[in-house]
């Protein structure tokens, strides 16, 4: 099974949301959110869509087959206007 | 409610809190891992089977002790990571379901492998060591007993090792 990278921790921190709050919102255990964030577990399509809907972003903004670009690099590019 | 009643109830609440049980209940249920106990019980059962096979006079003693090991190991399903109701984890989500499925598959695969090895192995040993029919039947009795121990321990063992360590945020 290919590893699915995600930015759940980043979005959660951005929203100031605890693991428990996100877990309650999407109907899983807080530990499962922890496993997802650490890459120990790849979510089902249903869970991935629920998490994306919770943050009101498209699913590809949260999950990717390729590693996500670090935030500092994105900001650097944005500053340069690339 | 009189002041004496209120003080009595407050005193009882404080006594209950001092036991530490209310704090445990507030923390919520967690997935409990058993990484070593099922492995020890499994090794013990196989050791007892070997002990019984060495001498047919000790076969029934070994079989009885394997039965004891099995009865100790079966409750692991209700206390370990395979527990699905009443607090193994808060809810049974898709992670739990996938883990439980993989754990039981590992258990059934191990039991099937043991049955095949046990049947052909006991037949081979009977031919090599010229066992009587009674000795062969006695040896064959160990196979289902060992299968029960495998089914009692391997799923919990698998789930306990497959469950990553977790720290709360």
CA distance B27 to A25: 19
pLDDT, residue A28, reads 92
pLDDT, residue B31, reads 63
Strands (E), chain B: none
**B122 domain-assigned:** yes
**B44 domain-assigned:** yes
Q: What is the extent of the structural domain holding B158? A: 31-162
- Which among B31, B95, B166 has the least Cβ separation from residue A28? B95
Reduced to 3 states (helix: H, G, I; strand: E, B; else coil), residue A45 is helix
- Which among B91, B95, B169 has the least Cβ separation from residue A35? B95
**B65 domain-assigned:** yes
CA distance A58 to A48: 10
Which stretches of chain B drop beneath a pLDDT of 50? 88
Q: What is the CATH number of the domain that holds A25?
A: 1.10.260.40
* CB proximity B169 to A under 8 Å: yes
Reduced to 3 states (helix: H, G, I; strand: E, B; else coil), residue A28 is coil
Q: What is the extent of the structural domain holding A36? A: 5-80
Reduced to 3 states (helix: H, G, I; strand: E, B; else coil), residue B80 is coil
In chain B, the residue whose alpha carbon lies closest to the alpha carbon of A36 is B95
Distance separating the N- and C-terminal Cα atoms of chain B:
42
CA distance B32 to B22: 19
**B56 domain-assigned:** yes
pLDDT, residue B29, reads 55
Mutate to test the interface with B, among A13, A16, A31, A33 (most CBs of B within 10 A): A31
pLDDT, residue B54, reads 82
Q: For residue B62, give the nearest of B70, B74, B50 by alpha carbon.
A: B50
pLDDT, residue B25, reads 63
**B17 domain-assigned:** no
CA distance B160 to B60: 32
Interface of A with B (CB under 8 A): 18-19, 27-32, 34-35, 38, 40-41, 43-44, 46-47
* CB proximity B168 to A under 8 Å: yes
pLDDT at A8 over 70: yes
CA distance, residue A81 to nearest chain B CA (Å): 36
CA distance A3 to A9: 17
Say if the ipTM goes beyond 0.90. no
Q: Which residues of B touch A35 (CB under 8 A)?
A: 95, 164, 166
pLDDT, residue B105, reads 96
Query: How does pLDDT run across B63-72, given as a tens digit for each residue?
Result: 999 999 999 9
SS (H, E, C) A47-73: HHHHHHHHHCCCHHHHEECCCCCCHHH
Tokens at B166, concatenated: 């977790």
Angle at B165 (CA atoms; ends A30, B167), nearest 5 degrees: 50
Structural domain count, chain B:
1
Q: Which residues of A touch B89 (CB under 8 A)?
A: 29, 31
* CB proximity B167 to A under 8 Å: yes
Structural domain count, chain A:
1
**Chain A to chain B Cβ contacts (< 8 Å):** 39
């Amino acid at each position: 099974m290919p590893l699915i990278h995600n930015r759940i921790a980043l979005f959660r921190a951005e929203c100031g949301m605890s693991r428990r709050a996100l877990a309650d919102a999407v109907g899983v255990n807080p530990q499962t959110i922890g496993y997802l964030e650490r890459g120990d577990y790849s979510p089902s399509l249903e869970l991935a869509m629920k998490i994306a809907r919770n943050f009101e972003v498209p699913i590809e903004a949260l999950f990717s087959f390729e590693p996500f670009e670090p935030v500092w690099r994105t900001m650097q590019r944005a500053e340069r206007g690339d | 409610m009189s002041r004496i009643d209120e003080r009595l109830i407050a005193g009882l609440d404080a006594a209950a809190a001092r036991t530490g049980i209310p704090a445990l209940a507030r923390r919520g249920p967690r997935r409990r891992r058993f990484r070593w106990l099922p492995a020890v019980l499994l090794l013990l059962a196989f050791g007892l089977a070997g002990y019984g096979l060495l001498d047919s006079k000790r076969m029934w003693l070994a079989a009885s002790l394997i039965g004891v090991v099995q009865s100790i190991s079966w409750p692991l399903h209700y206390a370990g990571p395979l527990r699905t109701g009443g607090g193994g984890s808060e809810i049974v989500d898709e992670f739990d379901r996938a883990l439980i499925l993989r754990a039981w598959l590992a258990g059934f695969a191990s039991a099937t492998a043991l049955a095949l090895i046990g049947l052909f192995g006991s037949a081979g040993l009977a031919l090599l060591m010229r066992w009587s029919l009674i000795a062969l039947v006695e040896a064959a009795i160990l196979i289902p007993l060992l299968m029960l121990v495998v089914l009692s321990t391997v799923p919990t063992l698998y789930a306990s090792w497959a469950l990553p360590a977790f720290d709360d945020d």
